[in-house]
Structure 1
Amino acid sequence: MSLDFNVPQYSYEPLDEGNHGIRLMTLLPAPTREAEIVCDLRNVRLTETDVPSFEALSYTWGSPMSPSRLRVAFLTNEKIDVTRNLTEALPCLRDTEKPRALWIDAVCINQKPLAERGQQVQRMAHIYSLAERVIVWLGLDNTDSRLTMATYY
């Protein structure tokens, strides 16, 4: 994902906090890991009795320096800046045939308005607890990670 400054930033639709709103990201399928990452964002209601099907991603954001652009809203071609660590995770998480519903804090929470960010951060434990699965991304495989995994497992 290269940085293209001619592409508009994604405009988030406000959440309905009074109705327990969150956003879910649908990671669209692609035949190869090298294909552009494209996703859609949608607002949904999340309560104990109203739980959409989704997985949550836990990872470290990494440095905000040299961000990549994640293509959102397939038809409008808007983008969201994301960190390198998330840029590396998404091709590994993407299916070749089926869309995948994910909750990823850096994308699903509009980081600009402090009020929304604060409310959503307070709900994170609840969001993770209602996910079908929590995926932990430790980063791309390297010599250190292989040694660590071999040592502990």
Structure 2
Amino acid sequence: YRPLEKEDQEIRILVLQRGADRSSPLHCKLEHIPLSYATFSAITHVWRQQEENRIRIEGLNTTIGENLGQALINLRKDEEDLRLSADAICITQQDDVEKSWQVELMGDIFNTALLTYVWLRPTPGDHDESPAQALDMILEIGKSCKGHQVVGYVWPDNGLLSISTFIPEK
């Protein structure tokens, strides 16, 4: 990874290249851009020890956690690339200095994102309703937060949740 410019609040954006075949390998590029100029969606997912998925970034083979890999497979679009902030890939996990200041930016990153995807299901066959119930409770609590409202969310069968940004009430 090329180092990020802290003074410019630079972030990495994962460009998930299009692909109609869910079984084909994931291909991505990384862009470096100041947060204030970036146009992207964000993804958050459960981090845990698990099997790994293969991914190709900038032409190099690497591995990512199965959970993130499944989310990217489900997010990949047929006819257009998708620009994402995915901290497991976009932050150099072995660089504690970069990781520290990038984690400080996470709130701004999620607030800047056009859309945030939340991957809650660890495997495609998992039909546990607990994540959906937990999210419903979180959204109910969120509705009571003064000055913000939930614009909407989608809970499809594939377990990939998309939540639109919280917007200030007028």
Report if the CA contact (8 A) 2:41-2:113 is conserved.
yes
- TM-score normalised to the size of structure 2? 0.72
Residue identity in the other structure for 1:67: E
2:79 counterpart of 1:79: no
5 Å matches for 1:1-153? 12-47=1-36, 50=37, 52-63=38-49, 65-73=50-58, 77-139=59-121, 140-145=124-129, 149=132
- TM-score normalised to the size of structure 1? 0.79
Relative to 1, partners in 2 of residues 1:124 and 1:31: Cα closer, same or farther, differing over 3 Å?
A: same
Report if the CA contact (8 A) 2:120-2:131 is conserved.
no
Q: Which runs of 5+ in 2 are unaligned?
A: 138-170
Q: 2: CA distance between counterparts of 1:141 and 1:53?
A: 32
Report if the CA contact (8 A) 1:26-1:102 is conserved.
yes
SS, match of residue 21 in structure 2:
coil
SS, match of residue 42 in structure 1:
strand
Identity percentage of aligned residues: 28
SS, match of residue 11 in structure 2:
strand
Q: Alpha carbon RMSD of aligned pairs, Å?
A: 2.1
| Count of aligned pairs | 134
Q: 2: CA distance between counterparts of 1:143 and 1:21?
A: 38
Structure 1 ranges of 4+ moved more than 2 A: 65-69, 140-143, 147-153
The superposition leaves residues 31-75 of structure 1 with CA deviations (integer Å, 9 ceiling, x where unpaired) of 21111100000100112xx3x210000111221x543332101xx
Report if the CA contact (8 A) 1:61-1:85 is conserved.
yes
Q: Which runs of 5+ in 1 are unaligned?
A: 1-11
Q: 1: CA distance between counterparts of 2:127 and 2:115?
A: 27
SS, match of residue 18 in structure 1:
coil
Relative to 1, partners in 2 of residues 1:18 and 1:67: Cα closer, same or farther, differing over 3 Å?
A: same
Aligned to 2:150: none
Instruction: Tell me the CA shift for residue 149 of structure 1.
Output: 4.1
Residue identity in the other structure for 1:144: D
SS, match of residue 144 in structure 1:
coil
